[in-house]
Structure 1
Amino acid sequence: MSQVVDDSRGGAGPFSRFEFLVAGRYLRARRKDAFISVIAALTLTGIAIGVATLIVVMSVMNGFRDELLSKILGLNGHFSAYPLEERLTDYKETVGAIEGVPGVRFAVPFVEGQALASGLTESTGVSARGIEFASVQKLDLLYKSAVMGSWDGWDEGNGVAIGSRLANRLGVSAGDIVTLVNPNGTLTPFGRTPQIRSYPVSVVFNLGMVEFDSFYLYMSMQAAQDYFKAYDDVLVEGAEPPDVLATDEEIDAAYQRVYRANAIEIFIDDPDDIATMRTRIQSQVTRPMTMTDWQQRNETFFSALQVERVVMFTILSMIILVAAFNIISSLVMLVKDKGRDIAVLRTMGATRGSIMRIFSMTGTAIGVAGTLIGLGLGLLIAANAETLRAFISNTLGVTLFPPEVFFLSTLPSKVNAGEVGLVVALSLSLSFLATLYPAWRAAQYEPVEALRYE
C-alpha cells in the first residue's frame, strides 16, 4: 500500500508514473471494454477529421484570398489617379514626379476604353487598355504570363495582347487578326460612325484569373491613343487658324497633336499603408488629381471574404466540439465501468486528485492523438490541394471549383502557421475541458459505496 501511495504522489512533474500506467491500461482495449473502445476510436476519428477539415478549409481560403489579391494588384495599381480640371497630357512628367515619392515602386500611365472584339468564330465585348512596353516590363505578372507570341517590338507595332480564354472564344491565336469596333468613332454630319480597325495578335497571355484572361485586351499606348482618339489638336503657337478652304496639309501644319492618358496606376511598397502614401503622393504631385485605392475598389469583395473566413471557422469548429462531447460520453461510461477499480485504488491509498488525473489523462490522450493525426492529414491535403482536385475531377468526370464561378483556374492553398496553431490549441483545449467533469465524478467515488454490492 505504501508503494502505491508513494507512486501516486511522487514522480517528476504533476503526474506520476503510477498514474501514467493506469491511464495507459484504460486506453488499451480489452474484450469486455470493446464498446467503450469503439466510442473512443470514433471520438479520435471525429477530432482528426475536424482538425484536418479546419486546416484544409482555412488554407484554401488563405490561398484564394492571396491569389486574388496578387492577381488583382498585379495588374491594377494600389492607387488609380485620375486628372481633375485639365486633361492628362503631361502624364510622363506626372509619372516621373510620382515615382520620385518614397515608398512608390512605379507608376503606369494608360489609355482605356470599351470595344467589341471580333475573331474567326464570334464576337465579344472587351476592355482595351493601351500601355507602353516599359510599363509592360514593370508589370511582372503580365510580362511573364505570355504563352504564345512575344512582346518584342511592342511600341513600334500595331499588335494586341489578349488572354488565353478570350483567344479561345474568338478562335484566334498568335498571328491571327482581331477586329475592334468602337461606337464612338469619327463625327460626321450624319452622326458618329463606328471606329473599326484590325490588329494582329502579338501575345496570348494566361494570368490564371478568369476575369482578366476572358475580358482584357492590351495594345500599345500609341495605337490606343489613336484608336480611342485620346488626343487634342492644338493650334501651333503663332499660327493662324486655317480657313474653310484650307488644304489638309495646311490644316496639319497649323495644328499640333497632343496625346493624353486616361489615368495612372500607382504601385507602392506596402499595400496596407494607404493613408500615409495618399498624403505623400498628393503633396508631391502639383497637378490636381483624384485617387482611389485598391481597398475602396474591392472593399465589398474582400470584406465578404473575411466574413466568410470567420463563419467557416466557427461552423467547422463545431466538428471538434461534437467530438469533444464524445470524449465526455466515453469517459462517463469508462468511469461507471471502472467503479470497482476506482474503489480498490482509493483503498490502496490513491488520492482524489490522483484519480482525477488518471481519467483526465485518458481522455486528453484521445484528444491529443486525434489532433496530431488531423494535423498531419490536414497539412498533407493542404499541400496537395490542386493535385487532389484535379485527380477527383478527372476520376469522377465533374468540374470541382469551376473557374467561371471562383475566378481562378487552379485551387490555391496557403498554410498559415498562426491559424494552424490556433486550430491545434482549440482542439487540445476542448479535449482537455471535456475530461474535467467525468474525471471529477470519478474522484467523488467513495470506496465503501463502490464496493458495497461487489
Structure 2
Amino acid sequence: MFRPLFVFVGARYTRAKRRNHFVSFISLTSMIGLALGVMVMILVLSVMNGFDREMRNRVLGMVPHATVESATPIDDWRQLAGPILKQPQVLAAAPFTQMQGLLSHDGKVQKVLINGVDPVEEAKVSVIGEFFKAEDGAQGALAALKPGEFGLIIGKKAASKLGVTVGDKLTFVAPEVTVTPAGMFPRLKRFTVVGIFSVGVGEVDGFVALAHIQDIARLHRWKDGQVQGLRLKFDDLFQAPRLAWGIAQRLGEQDFFARDWTRTHGNLYQAIRMEKAMIGLLLLLIVAVAAFNIISTLVMVVTDKKGDIAILRTLGATPGQIMAIFMVQGTIIGVVGTLIGAVLGMLAALGVSSGVAHVEKWLGFKFLNADVYFIDYLPSQLLAADVLLVCAAALVLSFLATLYPAWRAARTQPAEALRYE
C-alpha cells in the first residue's frame, strides 16, 4: 500500500530502536500522561453529570417547579387552575397546603414540613411515587393517604431517627398554642404512619412529610376544600421563574404571588454547574500539560535524528516534508494516548458508582454522608458529547504541541548536521 514519505518515516520514528531507547521511553511516558489526563477528565465530568442528573430527577423532581399562592386560603383551586392549564408550557397543576412543626415519638423529636396533598393530583407534578421501593427500605404508597384518617408519609431518615414504621403513631406539635382556662397549651395532633419513602436525599428524607390536604386544612382550621396554593409543573423547569411570575401577574399581582425552584434549590444547582465548569477547566490544564510533554519528546527526537534529517535533505526532501515527518510522529503519540484514555475513561465512568459502593461496603464507611451532601452515593452519567469534546481538545493540543519541534527540524542545515558525523 502506497504511503507518503513523511507518513512512512514519521511512523517508523515512533517505534523503538536499539540506540534510542531513552527517547522511546520519553514518548511512552508522554502517551501515558495524555491517556491518564483524558481518562480522569472523562471520569470527573461523568460524575458531575451524575450529580446534575440526580439533582434534576430527585431533588427537583420532588419539589414543585413553581407555586402560585395567595395570602388567604383559596376556595376553589380547580377554577383557579383552569386558565393556568390552558397555557402550553404548563403540564400539570395540583393543590397543596403546608404546615411546619415537630414530630414526636417515644421521647424523640424531629422537625418536619408537612405537605398537604391530593394523592391523585400530586402524582402529576411530583415523582414521589417512584420512591416507595421495598429494596430501598421504603413502604406504602401515596394512595394510602385518606381524608379524615390523619395518615402521614415520612422519609426513611426521619423514620429511622424517630424509630417508627408503618402503623405507628406520631404526635405532631404545631407552631401555635391553644388558649384554655387552664393556660396556653401547644396544639397537638396524632398521626398514623401509613408510608415511608426513600429518595436518597438527606434533606428530603429527613424533613419532608406528606399528609392528605383535607387533614392539613383542618389543622389550619380552614373550610373543607380550601388550599394554600397550586404546585405547577412546566415542560422546561428552567423557564419556571419567568412563567410563574407571568401567571401570578395575570391572576392578579395583588392577590397572588409565585415562587419557583430557583429560590429554594437554585443555589445548589448553580453550584453544581459552576463546579463542573471549573473542574473541567482545571482538568483541561492537566491534559494540556500532558500534551505539551510531546514538545520535549519531539525536541529530543529532532536532536537525535539530525543526521537522518540531513541525509533526507540531501536526497531531495523539502523542509515541508521534514516538518510533516515530526508532525506525524507527535500526532500518532497524541491519537494513541487519547484513544487509550477515552476507553479507560468510559470504563471507569460506567463502573465508578458500583466500585465506590463496594469500597464503602468493604471499609464500612460512607464517603458521601446524607447529613452533609444532598445524596448519599456517587452517581455517574457518561455523555457522548463530553467524550467527544475531551478527545477533540486532547487531539488539538497534541497537534499544536508538534508544531515547534517540527519547525526546528525543518530548519536543520544538512552541512551543519553532517559536520561531526
* Amino acid corresponding to residue 184 of structure 1 in structure 2: E
Q: Which residue of 2 aligns with 1:285?
A: 251
Is 1:391 the counterpart of 2:362 in the alignment? no
For 1:433 and 1:44, locate their aligned partners in 2 and report how far apart those are by CA, in whole Å.
Answer: 15
- Offset of 1:144 from its aligned partner? 2.4
Per the TM alignment, residue 135 of structure 1 is displaced from its structure 2 partner at its CA by: 2.5
**2:291 paired residue number:** 324
Q: Per the alignment, do residues 153 and 331 of structure 1 end up closer, same or farther by CA in structure 2, a change over 3 Å counting?
A: closer
Kindly state the Cα deviation for residue 286 of structure 1 after the two structures are TM-superposed: 5.7
SS in 1 for 2:127: helix
- Give the letter for the 1:125 counterpart: K
Partner of 1:211: 203
Residue equivalent to 1:36: 23
1:130 equivalent in structure 2: 116
Asked if 1:407 is matched to 2:393, the reply is no
State whether residues 96 and 115 of structure 2, in contact with CA within 8 Å, keep that contact through their aligned partners in structure 1. yes
Q: CA deviation at 1:279?
A: 6.3
CA distance in structure 2 between the aligned counterparts of 1:115 and 1:139, rounded to whole angstroms: 24
Amino acid at match of 1:72: V
Distance in 2 between residues matched to 1:393 and 1:46, nearest whole Å: 29
Residue 353 of structure 1 corresponds to which residue in structure 2? Answer: 320
Residue 163 of structure 1 pairs with residue 155 of structure 2:
yes
Correspondences of 1:211-290 after superposition (within 5 Å): 211-227=203-219, 229-231=220-222, 257=223, 260-274=226-240, 277-278=243-244, 281-282=247-248, 285=251, 288-290=255-257
Q: What CA distance in whole angstroms lies between the structure 2 residues aligned with 1:324 and 1:447?
A: 30
Would you say the 8 A contact 1:179–1:199 is kept in 2?
yes
Asked if the contact 2:173/2:187 (under 8 Å) is kept, the reply is yes
User: Aligned partner of 1:365: which letter?
Assistant: I
Aligned-pair CA distance for 1:280:
5.5
Letter in 2 for 1:118: S
Q: Deviations over 1:380-431 (max 9, x none)?
A: 1112221121122234443223333221123222223333222111100110
Shift of 1:162: 0.6
1:247 counterpart residue number: none
In 2, Cα distance between the equivalents of 1:224 and 1:58?
44
Give the distance between the partners of 1:448 and 1:295, measured in 2 at CA: 71
For the residues of structure 2 that align with 1:128 and 1:116, how far apart are their CA atoms? 10
| Amino acid paired to 1:207 | V
Which residue pairs with 2:135 in the alignment? none
Amino acid at match of 2:29: L
Q: Secondary structure at the match of 2:237?
A: coil
Correspondence list, 1:4-403, <5 A: 16-84=3-71, 86-120=72-106, 122-146=108-132, 147-156=138-147, 157-188=149-180, 192-227=184-219, 229-231=220-222, 257=223, 260-274=226-240, 277-278=243-244, 281-282=247-248, 285=251, 288-403=255-370
Q: Is the 8 A contact 1:101 1:280 kept in 2?
A: no
Aligned residues: 414
Unaligned runs of 5+ in 2: 133-137
Q: State the one-letter code of the partner of 1:144.
A: E
Question: 8 Å contact 2:178–2:186 — kept in the other structure?
Answer: yes
**Higher mean Cα deviation, 29-38 or 39-48?**
29-38
Contact residue 218 and residue 224 of structure 2 kept, 8 A = no
SS at match of 1:32: coil
Contact kept, 8 Å, 1:97 with 1:285, in 2: the verdict is no
Residue identity opposite 1:124 in structure 2: Q
For residue 76 of structure 1, report the CA deviation from its aligned partner: 1.9
Contact 1:209–1:409 under 8 Å retained in 2: yes
Partner of 1:234: none
Kindly state the Cα deviation for residue 58 of structure 1 after the two structures are TM-superposed.
1.2
Q: Deviations over 1:258-282 (max 9, x none)?
A: 5532222111112233466346634
Work out whether residues 130 and 222 of structure 1, in 8 Å CA contact, stay in contact via their aligned partners in 2.
yes
Alpha-carbon shift at residue 95 of structure 1 (Å): 2.8
Retained in 1: the 8 A contact 2:125–2:232?
Answer: no
- Offset of residue 79 of structure 1: 1.4
| Distance of 1:341 and 1:435 partners within structure 2 | 19
- Contact 2:95/2:229 (<8 A) preserved: yes
Q: 1:139 Cα deviation (Å)? A: 4.2
Q: Which moved more, 1:400-409 or 1:18-27?
A: 400-409
Q: Which moved more, 1:49-58 or 1:297-306?
A: 297-306
CA RMSD across the alignment: 2.2
SS of the equivalent of 1:217 reads strand
Do 1:132 and 1:155's aligned partners in 2 also have CA atoms closer than 8 Å?
A: no
Q: Which runs of 5+ in 1 are unaligned?
A: 1-6, 232-256
Distance 1:102 1:326 in 2: 55
**Cα deviations across residues 75-125 of structure 1 (Å, max 9, x unaligned)?**
2222121214x4323333223342233321111221111111123472111
Q: SS at the partner of 2:215?
A: helix
TM-score by length of 1: 0.85
Give TM-score, length-normalised by structure 2. Answer: 0.91
CA distance in 1, matches of 2:22, 2:107: 67
8 Å CA contact retained: 1:174, 1:204: yes
